[in-house]
Structure 1
């Protein structure tokens, strides 16, 4: 295998890895947004943590 072949294969590998990493970061960003929405709904939604704390404090 020549030096040019190795360089071409390495460049292709780096391009593929960069694209896969970009896709993974995009997916993780979407997952983080979903988790943040769930946490927000748990905190301020009906039957939320805030309501539970009020009931505990008010006795």
Structure 2
């Protein structure tokens, strides 16, 4: 998977990124920076893209 590919994210994660991005835009960040920070925030919250498997560690 190439860097920046968002196909492994769930629809819920993508929706959350949009809401996070809107918050950053309201703070006056550029669209590019808001998008970058929104994905970084989502990765921190969810641990990255779609995960599967019984007994996966949760924080």
The bucket for the TM-score relative to the shorter chain is 0.3 to 0.5
TM (norm. structure 1) is 0.33
TM (norm. structure 2) is 0.33
- Which structure has the highest helix share of the two? 1
